[in-house]
């Protein structure tokens, strides 16, 4: 008893924080513990909260925490901060505001910085979710900023995605929603007491209708919130739970989870294989010569890579 | 004569567009041509124009094209559109506005959609740059939106990065600049005729000073432009060229190029190895069993990946 695994399963927040940090640092000890936790995961409802900076996502997440707690759910939050790929820190005052819930053992918040490494963000985020899941958090919120590949990758880690926008984003909505429209299960117009809320909501509704949704499929609702005044939050939580029920009833939840796990497995294989290949190659004199030729432009990188990968063999059985 | 390689080297735009499309589709024929072009690349000045949606980057790029043309430089543009990870198309009217330069053979503009695949965006962007470089474009502008991993990856592909912001971005600046501050060689406050331009410029200058720049290193200037009215554009182009001269004189340009090529080579190795591993594995009955166990949660994805990668061997020599 008293092992790290037991502590995590008992929901010990210090142990959870320690493990997530180890996994962020790719510490092999952390990985050992995570493996023992794996059979205890797969139960949490994982929700992504996505949208550009300035839409008040952190405040919204804070309100959602309170609402889920009111309904007796234990809540984990993974706040992803893509604004610090290099500095590794979080600057936002919002983070601090969220931490006020830290006294409640039913809430566990971790902030992750993106790293410039292969599979960095989506891997560490997924691992933090696994840890929180094993700790017994029933709802896990992943907060991400911005658009692009990050969001696509993170979207693969969640069951339900809420896309947040605000009035007055003008052209941005059109540009951003082209991508976010596809990943959103629920759309939130936050700061809906500002002028232009109807315009944004109307535009979103129109764009969703243009996309065309087959009968029987989930029709993403467009909700209005004023997170600062705590308005519209129960309705948002209702919609998130309704989407989860839809996924479970239609069998899509199982399919999403399975697909997600397969993708994660393939990603791990690629990461581990990359390490192994360069490790194996580093021991061969041919590799040093290849790098020299590459440096001297006697060979192009495509041919060089092909040459290196050619040497790979797979030994089946033992 | 008349081969695709010759056409590209002669600057044939139809052939260039065809090759870039082939490379986006991972067509092996395209790769064959690119290999033959490789020795003819490495000459262009590659500039990244990065910043959130709504900052007027496309208009700015349009003006920069005109200014570089006025100075007799041939200009290629790669417009990356991360807003369409799924739809694959570009919605922005700005794109169309830029295309007006299409009649000028000294300008070549391609729009790329991000793909949800490994190395997708940074690889296709880099390949488009290689093609334009081989076509004889002396300046290549890469326009990207948003923050996060995309920007970090794309930043590795350029020599000089201009980060664009606008007045009135408020808190967003602080949040975003945490990451963008590190990658910017030049900062542009566009729409500088709007109220608040001084505030943004002052904030940027202060943040750059707080960062601390060693004596003798490049000190990123903060410039003001009104792209719509064509104001501040020659100064911006001067600053971009000055940064390039600084890089060349300090030996950092060669270092950046070398580092970039090594990173690209490693990325290619990883991509090719991933394809090969899953191809090799697919032929082994053990792999099918492994996937079954993974699906049934009898094995965790880490142990499964380790098991698969364990079988990898490297055959040196021949």
pLDDT higher than 90, residue A112: no
pLDDT higher than 70, residue A202: yes
Mutate to test the interface with B, among A97, A172, A262, A277 (most CBs of B within 10 A): A277
DSSP β-ladder status, A45-51 and B75-81: unpaired
Give me the residues of A, 141-170, that contact B with CB < 8 A.
Answer: 145-152, 169-170
pLDDT score of B92:
37
- Name the nearest CA neighbour of B133 among B113, B152, B159, B115: B159
Question: Please, which pLDDT band fits residue A149 given cuts at 50, 70 and 90?
Answer: low
Tell me whether residues A265 and B83 touch, CB distance under 8 A. no
Q: How far is B7 from chain A (nearest CA, A)?
A: 20
In the predicted model, what is the mean pLDDT of residues A128-145? 93
pLDDT score of B152:
64
pLDDT higher than 90, residue A32: yes
A99-109 tens-digit pLDDT = 455 567 899 99
Quote the percentage of chain A above a pLDDT of 90.
41
d(CA A144, CA B72): 43
Question: Please, which pLDDT band fits residue A80 given cuts at 50, 70 and 90?
Answer: confident
**Which of A91, A150, A274 minimises the CB distance to B270?**
A274
Cβ of residue B294 closer than 8 Å to a chain A Cβ? yes
In the predicted model, what is the mean pLDDT of residues A147-163? 74
Tell me whether residues A312 and B276 touch, CB distance under 8 A. yes
**Listed range (A216-220, A237-241, B113-117, B203-207) with the worst mean pLDDT:** B113-117
pLDDT score of B2:
66
For residue A295, which residues of chain B lie inside 8 Å, CB to CB?
258, 261
pTM exceeds 0.90: no
Give me the residues of A, 178-217, that contact B with CB < 8 A.
Answer: 178-179, 182-183
A–B CB contacts, 8 A cutoff, strictly below:
263
A18 or B24: which leads in pLDDT = A18
Which helix (H) or strand (E) segment is A129 a member of? Answer: helix A120-134
Quote the percentage of chain A above a pLDDT of 70.
81
Check if the beta carbon of residue A213 is closer than 8 Å to that of residue A222.
no
Strands (E), chain B: 45-51, 75-81, 107-113, 139-145, 160-165, 186-189, 222-224, 312-314
Cβ of residue A91 closer than 8 Å to a chain B Cβ? yes
pLDDT higher than 70, residue A114: no
d(CA B32, CA B30): 5
pLDDT score of A228:
92
Residues of chain B with pLDDT under 70: 1-2, 81-103, 113-121, 145-154, 169-179, 314-318
Q: How far is A212 from chain B (nearest CA, A)?
A: 14
Tell me whether residues A309 and B120 touch, CB distance under 8 A. no
In the predicted model, what is the mean pLDDT of residues A145-150? 59
pLDDT score of A233:
97
Q: How many helices (H) and strands (E) does chain B have?
A: 13, 8
Q: How far is B154 from chain A (nearest CA, A)?
A: 11
A46-76 tens-digit pLDDT = 999 988 777 888 899 999 999 999 999 999 9
Q: How many residues does chain A have?
A: 318
pLDDT score of B218:
94
Cβ neighbourhood burial of A309 (10 Å; 0-12, 13-18, 19+): buried
In the predicted model, what is the mean pLDDT of residues A242-269? 89
Q: How many residues does chain B have?
A: 318
Q: What is the DSSP letter of A76?
A: E
In the predicted model, what is the mean pLDDT of residues A12-18? 95
For residue A280, which residues of chain B lie inside 8 Å, CB to CB?
312-314
Dihedral sign, Cα of residue A20, residue A22, residue A24, residue A26: negative
Q: Cβ of B106: how many Cβ atoms within 10 Å?
A: 17
pLDDT score of A177:
46
pLDDT score of A240:
98
Q: How far is A104 from chain B (nearest CA, A)?
A: 28
Mutate to test the interface with B, among A23, A59, A82, A292 (most CBs of B within 10 A): A82
Question: Chain B: residue nearest A311 by CA?
Answer: B315
**Which of B82, B262, B281 minimises the CB distance to A149?**
B82
pLDDT score of B272:
86
d(CA A27, CA A34): 11
A238 or A200: which leads in pLDDT = A238
């Amino acid at each position: 008893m008293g092992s790290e695994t037991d502590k995590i399963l008992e929901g010990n927040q210090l142990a959870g924080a320690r493990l997530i940090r180890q996994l962020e640092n790719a510490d092999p000890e952390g990985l050992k513990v995570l493996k023992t936790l794996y059979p205890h995961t797969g139960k949490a409802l994982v929700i992504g909260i996505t949208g550009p900076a300035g839409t008040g996502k952190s405040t919204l997440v804070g309100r959602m925490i309170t609402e889920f707690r009111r309904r007796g759910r234990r809540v984990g939050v993974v706040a992803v901060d893509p604004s610090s790929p290099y500095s590794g820190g979080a600057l936002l005052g919002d983070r601090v505001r969220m931490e006020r819930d830290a006294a409640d053992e039913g809430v566990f918040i971790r902030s992750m910085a993106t790293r410039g490494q292969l599979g960095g963000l989506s891997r560490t985020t997924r691992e933090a979710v696994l840890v929180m899941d094993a700790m017994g958090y029933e709802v896990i919120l992943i907060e991400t900023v911005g658009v692009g590949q990050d969001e696509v990758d993170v979207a693969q880690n969640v069951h339900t995605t809420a896309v947040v926008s605000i009035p007055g984003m003008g052209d941005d909505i059109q540009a951003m929603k082209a991508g976010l429209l596809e990943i959103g299960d629920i759309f939130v117009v936050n700061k809906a007491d500002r002028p232009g809320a109807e315009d944004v909501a109307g535009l979103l509704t129109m764009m969703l209708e243009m996309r065309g949704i087959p009968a029987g499929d989930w029709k993403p609702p467009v909700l209005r919130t004023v997170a600062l005044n705590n308005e519209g939050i129960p309705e948002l939580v209702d919609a998130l739970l309704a989407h989860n029920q839809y996924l479970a009833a239609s069998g899509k939840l199982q399919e999403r989870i399975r697909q997600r796990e397969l993708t994660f497995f393939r990603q791990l294989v690629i990461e581990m294989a990359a390490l192994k290949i360069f490790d194996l190659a580093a021991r061969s004199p041919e590799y040093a010569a290849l790098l020299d030729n590459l440096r001297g432009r006697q060979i192009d990188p495509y041919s060089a890579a092909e040459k290196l990968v050619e040497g790979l063999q797979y030994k089946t059985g033992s």
